[in-house]
Amino acid sequence: MWNGLVRLLAVLIGLNASRLACAECADANVEDAFGRQDVPALRHMIEDGLAKQAMDPIAATVLGLAAYRAAILLERMSRRSDAQVLTTQVVDRIDPIRAATKDKELTAVVSMLYGLEIELSPIRGFYLGHRIQDILDSAHNDEKPNPRLHLAEGLGILYRPKLFGGGPANAVPILDAAIAGLDPEAPSDSSVCWGRADAMLALARAKIALNERSVAIKLVNDVIAQDPENPMAKWMRADLRSGADGSH
């Protein structure tokens, strides 16, 4: 009985520490609203961000993430045009800050927003694909790796045609690096905390494409175990259970 109480106390301490860490993240409110699938709350954050006269890279990163999360939800609601307008509006505001500061966290968000724009408007894919690659290449100029840059790069490779160096097999090692770098135990000096679930779900999509369905299911279940309200994980699990491939 005593051992059971000790284990329970350890779990509770771990949960409290996790919640404290989450509360200290600059993106905590964005991720909370995303978990609730609260598009109006995300839109309010975006409006507040766009209304600011000046933004530092952290504020711009949080604004970009809010737009990314809102656009995912809007697309799920079949409101693609709304999602496209939103992503374009926010990218136009934060990309100049990225260009001026070369901030890696902001670079990752901007490149993923461009990737989402390609999904929403494939006709722009050729131009924006080159744009994403240029942005990511410019951010790799120093030796310190950034796991969210790995995530952005891995997503780009996952959906890029194999003829141009893309495909799931090429994306797997980069997504693995993102997951390792975003491990809660990994050292980090970042003030944002998002990305690990995104990387795990992207890896799950790659594994599905590589006919490793059991691995994909485990990855999705692991995300839900860590973040039960994660909308993307819940959608993907439902797709997998229904027999769909859950790859988008």
Q: Tens digits of per-residue pLDDT, 18-59?
A: 333 455 899 999 999 999 999 999 999 999 999 999 999 999
Under a CB-based contact definition with an 8 Å cutoff, are residues 124 and 168 in contact? no
Q: Are residues 134 and 189 in the same domain?
A: no
Q: Are residues 174 and 114 in the same domain?
A: no
Q: Are residues 15 and 136 in the same domain?
A: yes
Q: Are residues 80 and 121 in the same domain?
A: yes
Above 60 in pLDDT, residue 95?
Answer: yes
The answer to the question of residue 22 being in a domain is yes
The answer to the question of residue 153 being in a domain is no
Q: Are residues 243 and 210 in the same domain?
A: yes
Structure token digits, residue 214: 């059991």
Q: Are residues 136 and 18 in the same domain?
A: yes
Final residue in a domain of this structure, among 106, 141, 176:
141
Above 50 in pLDDT, residue 100?
Answer: yes
Above 50 in pLDDT, residue 98?
Answer: yes
How confident is the model over 101-119, as a mean pLDDT? 89
The answer to the question of residue 29 being in a domain is yes
Q: Are residues 53 and 110 in the same domain?
A: yes
Angle at 108 between CA 44 and CA 99, to 5 degrees: 90
Residues shown for the chain:
248
Total-model pTM = 0.85
Please name the residue that has the structure tokens 């942005």.
135
Q: Tell me which of 75-79, 99-103, 187-191, 216-220 is least confident.
A: 187-191
The answer to the question of residue 149 being in a domain is no
Say which residue, 246 or 222, is predicted with more confidence: 222
The answer to the question of residue 27 being in a domain is yes
Q: Are residues 90 and 136 in the same domain?
A: yes
Q: Are residues 218 and 105 in the same domain?
A: no
Q: Report the C-alpha gap between 198 and 28 in whole angstroms.
A: 15
Q: Are residues 133 and 171 in the same domain?
A: no
Final residue in a domain of this structure, among 109, 141, 173:
141
Q: Which domain covers residue 240, as residue numbers?
A: 162-248
The total of structural domains in the chain comes to: 2
Final residue in a domain of this structure, among 88, 109, 141:
141
Structure token digits, residue 32: 């909370």
What burial letters (b/e) apply to 196-233, b meaning 16+ CB within 10 Å?
A: bbbbbbbbbbbbbbeebeeebbebbeebbeebeebbbb
The answer to the question of residue 147 being in a domain is no
Q: Report the C-alpha gap between 82 and 80 in whole angstroms.
A: 5
The answer to the question of residue 115 being in a domain is yes
Instruction: Determine the distance from the C-alpha atom of residue 227 to the mean position of all C-alpha atoms in its chain, rounded to a whole number.
Output: 14
Q: Are residues 123 and 176 in the same domain?
A: no
Q: Are residues 111 and 172 in the same domain?
A: no
The answer to the question of residue 202 being in a domain is yes
pLDDT interval class at 118 (50, 70, 90) = confident
